[in-house]
Structure 1
Amino acid sequence: MKRLFLSTIIVLSAFLHADAQLLKGKHNFSRADTLRGMLTPLRTCYDINYYHLDVKVDIDHKSVTGSNEFNFTATTDFKQLQFDLFSNLKIEKVVYKNEELPFKREFNAVFITFPSTIKKGVKDKFEVFYSGSPVIARNPPWDGGFIFSKDKSGAPWVSVACQGFGASSWWPTKDHQSDEVDSVLISISVPKDLQEVSNGRLRSVTDLPDNYKKYNWFVSNPINNYNITFYIGKYAHWTDLYKGENGDLTLDYWALKADSAVARPHWDADVKPMLKAFEHWFGPYPFYKDGYKLVQSPHLGMEHQSAVAYGNEFKMGYRGNDLSGSGWGLKFDFITVHESGHEWFGNNITSKDIADMWIHESFTNYSEALMTEYLYGKKASTEYVVGIRAKIQNDVPIIGNYNVNSEGSGDMYYKGANMLHTIRQLMQNDEKFRQLLRGLNKTFYHQTVTTAQIENYMIKESGLKLSKIFDQYLRTTKVPVLDYYIKNDQLNYRWTNVVNGFSMPVKVSLTPGNFSFIYPAEQWKTVNVKDITEGNFIADPNFYILVKKSK
């Protein structure tokens, strides 16, 4: 896609339709989508406190057997609840107080009925036993499922990625982002000649009688179920320590033995400067109790909390390419940086509904620019974030459809980052912007949130009227157009292609070589200019807008 340099004057007639409207798209959502995405009383009636996930992975047969113990607190009186498990996996039984409970299925939803009413405030538990062959991913991590691969020596290399697709594709769980489990014990049994890595800290390894070993990992912090994972293979392991804002943070690196000689210097050089930059901008790493792990995976990458998946082949950039086209994207390993940035936005702060996934991806995409700025300066950061605009599609709105497990546009990455960069310009105070980012991570520490909560916090802390800006960039596909002409040393200007009431200030050249704020609205306004013509008039490229000569 041709890059758009907003510091030049762009003729938009071939690019935009004057009557462009919000593109809702055509969706045919089903009952199954609603069961997955809707918070019904059968889901809100219980709050998950603790899981013990105990799974044996049979690599030869590409199957699993196991159980999950649900520990919960009743939020209201209830007798029936819903949990989730894909229908291709068999529920062997559901056990409650040593008795089997009746259950019924509807698509991937499972409904169990208790023998008596569970009262509000009561802590209780049940256990689900299951087996079967989980879905195998065709193009991970963009689609979900298991990955059965082999390393260079031909040894098994197995993992899973399931964001959006659903953790219930491989284990029974309450599969909704709004309810993060407070802690979890992850027990994964694998052939004894292989190693297994999961989230959190390793508590023990137990020998089993069938030439298997069980690895027991405990996660102390709240975690979303799509982040719970495993990696099985022949790994090399080494450790380090990062002295961070909250003290000593343990660093654990797991690379395939065949790649460890390349992996060690690559990761050792990248991770500590990255963590220092992110703690500067976002505040302390959110999971000191569980540590930071970087694990080589048989797919490109995923933000698995405290066990970040890495598959970028130890290259700089994104698979050796610079997504920004600026040159700065080759100064760092994209997957290490992006997936680690999610520890703050996505894992620490998690959207309640996947429709609000921009909260994860927009901030994390901007984290790449912020780290670049911390290491190489503001000019480098600006060039990076302006460069990624070439990848913006403006196909459908960034925010998806609620209550049906539906993501919005992939523009949540590049367009979302540029929205945040634009808001930063409006704040006119980089330190205040930094404190806003740190404040988000402190205020919503280990919480699930809505778009409204994030918008309201940013409006309050910035002191700016941002609601129409959020509407414009998150809820429509329209890019604001600064319509202008110059006559008799006067700049005539207005906003077009905007939501009703849009009045965002923007910096432009009122004198050569300098940018000054103007305050466009949907009606024409004027301001005097000096030595500015239609040939040298430009808008500050830090603002994600388009510019059109009107007459």
Structure 2
Amino acid sequence: MSIRKDFLRLIGCMPLFFGLFSTAIAQDVITRADTLRGSITPERAWWDLNYYHLSVEVFPETQSIQGKNLVRYQVKEPAQILQIDLQQPLNITAVKQDGVELSFRREGAAHFISLKKSQEKGAFNELEIFYEGKPKVAVRPPWDGGITWQKDSNGKHFIANSNQGIGSSIWWPTKDHPADEVDSMLISVTVPKDLIDVSNGRLRKVEENGDKKTYHWFVSNPINDYGVNISIGDYVHFGEEYEGEKGTLTMDYYVLRENLKKAEKQFQDARKMMEAFEHWFGPYPFYEDGFKLIEVPYLGMEHQSAVTYGNGYQNGYLGRDLSGTGWGLKFDFIIIHEAGHEWFANNITYRDVADMWIHESFTNYSESLFLDYHFGKEAGQEYVRGTRMNIANQSPIIGIYGVNRRGSGDMYYKGGNMLNTLREIIGDDKKWRSILRGLNEEFYHQTVTTRQVENYISQQVGKDLKPFFDQYLRETSIPVLEYYYSDDKTLNYRWTSCVPAFDMPVDVTLGEEKIRLQPRTSWQEISVKRQEELVLDPDYYVGVSKMR
């Protein structure tokens, strides 16, 4: 298998959805189901999520679940039809408001509930949604999404969900659109008493009832639906306290009993991650809910305050260095990448899946910043440059809005190289760090659009960066610096293969002299001492071409 094909096979799980986005791109026809899933429909627009209490019992022997979700919401504008999503083969068995059973109409995953109570602007109301069935089994988690039902080496059940691409409504009834995050949430999971459930937030209590136990986890911060998780197994726990920027942070680790010794060694990367990312991105965004790392029967995912892990207790990505430089074997890829999403995905969340680059480009780039912090800047630069071999440049990074269509997988490594190029343009690492930290402060616990991120960075840099972002996010071509000497002392240069307004500065070396050029799409010229070979600063993700 070629390096390119091998990469495409491997990288698919970086929450890991590579197979999912390629399927989405291949679907040229936009369906009614796509619109119902990906748009803010009238039946979603009039109400704002406030609180969930998800209660679910898991039956491992039959691979089925049963439960209810209490949904508290605030009325923004009066309406009487409300959309809740739950995917087949699960079924909603009843919906109640104030004890009164309500009728609903199902259209695929969308359920349109007819409310009887008057919905007055500003009021807080509640729904109880009862459901049951056998949720979709994840065949190749986390690529296709669903529930994974496995057993550990001791024959104990080992169960977890992974559903970023397919949606949280694959296993529980939700307002399955990223624009509206619930403000807080209680997750109550009932399992056989020989098992433990670990979910998001902090454990409030455990109730025992015969041969079952119910674990109650409370999330005090806003949370995206796809980040809600259940992880069930014969877990053992260990942990530590980290003195961070906002005080004492609890860091808890849940692993299979058989892997405790391995985890005690491998999970030391979690503390290193926290130190590096608080430096670059600012305080961990969820001190109130703590940080957890949980072993699961698939590769891993960025569940908020409950990051899941299945990288086999080895460095790299399943033991491989995706940069080809050797630096990728200095850290456990899943710990660093998935935890990086706490800042970019869980703190700052896309409002539409078309803007998924906000999650993946910054988090991919966080891998090189981890190396930068612990091994020096050049280590991080070598790593990010090495990942360019994995860029396809076949379709744009940004997807299609309003229909649940993410962009291409280039949002990972092309996006990371785009951000590294921006760092070079700024040329001031203190400023660059302040921008990364400022993003997490400006958009703290918010859903955002690409334009908001672009505008914030442009304001901080003091330059309109729209052409820059248009080039890297919305086009497939890479800008090429074209140059020639018109005489011994005149260098002519311009940008080609780029959007018309592209005017990015670039650093080059002529002989032994380092200079910054200011190319545009029209020819520019400068005087030089003599004709010298032009060498591009390798940290810019651009091409170079000398005209003969």
* TM-score by shorter chain over 0.5: yes
- C-alpha distance 514-137 of structure 1, shift in aligned 2 (>3 A): farther
Please state how far the C-alpha of 1:508 moved relative to its aligned partner.
1.2
1:77-92 → structure 2 map (5 Å cutoff) = 77-92=78-93
1:147-166 → structure 2 map (5 Å cutoff) = 147-166=148-167
Structure 2 residue 238 is the aligned partner of structure 1 residue 238: yes
Please state how far the C-alpha of 1:419 moved relative to its aligned partner.
0.7
Distance in 1, Cα, partners of 2:506 & 2:45: 44
Structure 2 residue 186 is the aligned partner of structure 1 residue 177: no
Residue of structure 2 equivalent to 1:339:
338
Distance in 2, Cα, partners of 1:514 & 1:380: 24
Structure 2 SS opposite 1:271: helix
Structure 2: tracts of 5 or more residues without a match: 5-24
Answer yes or no: is the 8 Å Cα contact 1:235–1:255 preserved in 2. yes
Distance in 1, Cα, partners of 2:376 & 2:115: 60
- C-alpha distance 192-377 of structure 1, shift in aligned 2 (>3 A): same
Q: Compare 187-196 and 517-526 and name the one that shifted more.
A: 517-526
Please state how far the C-alpha of 1:266 moved relative to its aligned partner.
1.4
Please state how far the C-alpha of 1:428 moved relative to its aligned partner.
1.4
Distance in 1, Cα, partners of 2:531 & 2:166: 54
Answer yes or no: is the 8 Å Cα contact 1:287–1:306 preserved in 2. yes
1:442-464 per-position Cα deviation (integer Å, ceiling 9, x unaligned):
01000000111101000001112
Residue of structure 2 equivalent to 1:17:
none
1:72-221 → structure 2 map (5 Å cutoff) = 72-209=73-210, 211-221=211-221
Structure 2 SS opposite 1:47: strand
Structure 1: tracts of 5 or more residues without a match: 4-23
- C-alpha distance 25-212 of structure 1, shift in aligned 2 (>3 A): closer
Please state how far the C-alpha of 1:522 moved relative to its aligned partner.
1.4
1:377-392 → structure 2 map (5 Å cutoff) = 377-392=376-391
Residue of structure 2 equivalent to 1:513:
512
Residue of structure 2 equivalent to 1:365:
364
Distance in 2, Cα, partners of 1:499 & 1:515: 27
Structure 2 SS opposite 1:538: strand
Please state how far the C-alpha of 1:532 moved relative to its aligned partner.
4.5
Structure 1 SS opposite 2:498: coil
Structure 2 SS opposite 1:250: strand
Please state how far the C-alpha of 1:87 moved relative to its aligned partner.
3.0
Please state how far the C-alpha of 1:2 moved relative to its aligned partner.
7.6
Over the aligned positions, Cα root-mean-square deviation in angstroms equals 1.3
Structure 2 SS opposite 1:35: helix
Aligned letter for 2:90? L
1:296-307 → structure 2 map (5 Å cutoff) = 296-307=295-306
Structure 2 residue 416 is the aligned partner of structure 1 residue 417: yes
Q: Compare 476-485 and 353-362 and name the one that shifted more.
A: 476-485
Residue of structure 2 equivalent to 1:257:
257
Please state how far the C-alpha of 1:194 moved relative to its aligned partner.
0.8
Distance in 2, Cα, partners of 1:530 & 1:275: 49
Please state how far the C-alpha of 1:25 moved relative to its aligned partner.
7.2
Please state how far the C-alpha of 1:208 moved relative to its aligned partner.
2.2
Aligned letter for 1:265? K
1:363-392 per-position Cα deviation (integer Å, ceiling 9, x unaligned):
111111111111111111111111111111
1:326-357 per-position Cα deviation (integer Å, ceiling 9, x unaligned):
11111111100000000000000000001100
Distance in 1, Cα, partners of 2:281 & 2:521: 36
Residue of structure 1 equivalent to 2:229:
229
Please state how far the C-alpha of 1:274 moved relative to its aligned partner.
1.4
- C-alpha distance 144-514 of structure 1, shift in aligned 2 (>3 A): farther
1:66-103 per-position Cα deviation (integer Å, ceiling 9, x unaligned):
00000010011111111101132111100111110010
Answer yes or no: is the 8 Å Cα contact 1:236–1:260 preserved in 2. yes
Distance in 1, Cα, partners of 2:473 & 2:38: 20
Structure 2 SS opposite 1:177: coil
1:476-499 per-position Cα deviation (integer Å, ceiling 9, x unaligned):
111111112234233221111101
Distance in 2, Cα, partners of 1:324 & 1:471: 26
TM-score of the superposed pair, with normalisation by structure 1: 0.94
Residue of structure 1 equivalent to 2:324:
325
Answer yes or no: is the 8 Å Cα contact 1:144–1:160 preserved in 2. yes
Q: Compare 342-351 and 149-158 and name the one that shifted more.
A: 149-158
Structure 2 SS opposite 1:49: strand
Structure 1 SS opposite 2:438: helix
Q: Compare 328-337 and 479-488 and name the one that shifted more.
A: 479-488
Answer yes or no: is the 8 Å Cα contact 2:88–2:135 preserved in 1. no
Aligned letter for 1:476? E
Answer yes or no: is the 8 Å Cα contact 1:234–1:256 preserved in 2. yes
Please state how far the C-alpha of 1:141 moved relative to its aligned partner.
1.0
Distance in 2, Cα, partners of 1:294 & 1:457: 32
Answer yes or no: is the 8 Å Cα contact 2:188–2:215 preserved in 1. yes
Residue of structure 2 equivalent to 1:349:
348
Structure 2 SS opposite 1:117: coil
Aligned letter for 2:190? S
Please state how far the C-alpha of 1:309 moved relative to its aligned partner.
0.5
1:434-449 → structure 2 map (5 Å cutoff) = 434-449=433-448
Distance in 1, Cα, partners of 2:57 & 2:344: 31
Aligned letter for 1:492? N
Aligned letter for 2:461? S
Q: Compare 351-360 and 110-119 and name the one that shifted more.
A: 110-119
Please state how far the C-alpha of 1:178 moved relative to its aligned partner.
0.6
TM-score of the superposed pair, with normalisation by structure 2: 0.94
Structure 2 SS opposite 1:382: helix
Aligned letter for 1:332? F
Structure 1 SS opposite 2:35: helix
Residue of structure 2 equivalent to 1:13:
none
Distance in 1, Cα, partners of 2:131 & 2:108: 16
Aligned letter for 2:516? F
Aligned letter for 1:57? V
1:277-296 per-position Cα deviation (integer Å, ceiling 9, x unaligned):
10011000000000000001
1:183-233 per-position Cα deviation (integer Å, ceiling 9, x unaligned):
111011111111110010111111124x11111100011000100001111
Residue of structure 2 equivalent to 1:57:
58
Distance in 2, Cα, partners of 1:220 & 1:187: 14
Q: When the two structures are aligned, how many residues end up with a matched partner?
A: 526
Answer yes or no: is the 8 Å Cα contact 2:159–2:231 preserved in 1. yes
Distance in 2, Cα, partners of 1:136 & 1:35: 23
- C-alpha distance 69-411 of structure 1, shift in aligned 2 (>3 A): same
1:119-146 per-position Cα deviation (integer Å, ceiling 9, x unaligned):
1100000100010110111111121100
Higher-RCO chain (CA-CA 8 Å, sequence separation at least 6): 1
Distance in 2, Cα, partners of 1:424 & 1:492: 26
Residue of structure 1 equivalent to 2:455:
456
Distance in 2, Cα, partners of 1:380 & 1:513: 24
Answer yes or no: is the 8 Å Cα contact 1:515–1:540 preserved in 2. no
Distance in 1, Cα, partners of 2:117 & 2:324: 62
Aligned letter for 1:329? G
Distance in 2, Cα, partners of 1:531 & 1:158: 68
Structure 1 SS opposite 2:287: coil
Please state how far the C-alpha of 1:527 moved relative to its aligned partner.
2.0
- C-alpha distance 25-481 of structure 1, shift in aligned 2 (>3 A): farther
Answer yes or no: is the 8 Å Cα contact 1:29–1:404 preserved in 2. yes
Answer yes or no: is the 8 Å Cα contact 1:92–1:131 preserved in 2. yes
1:393-408 → structure 2 map (5 Å cutoff) = 393-408=392-407
Residue of structure 1 equivalent to 2:534:
537
Answer yes or no: is the 8 Å Cα contact 1:82–1:174 preserved in 2. yes
Please state how far the C-alpha of 1:246 moved relative to its aligned partner.
0.2
Distance in 1, Cα, partners of 2:239 & 2:301: 21
Structure 2 SS opposite 1:381: helix
Residue of structure 2 equivalent to 1:66:
67
Q: Compare 520-529 and 301-310 and name the one that shifted more.
A: 520-529
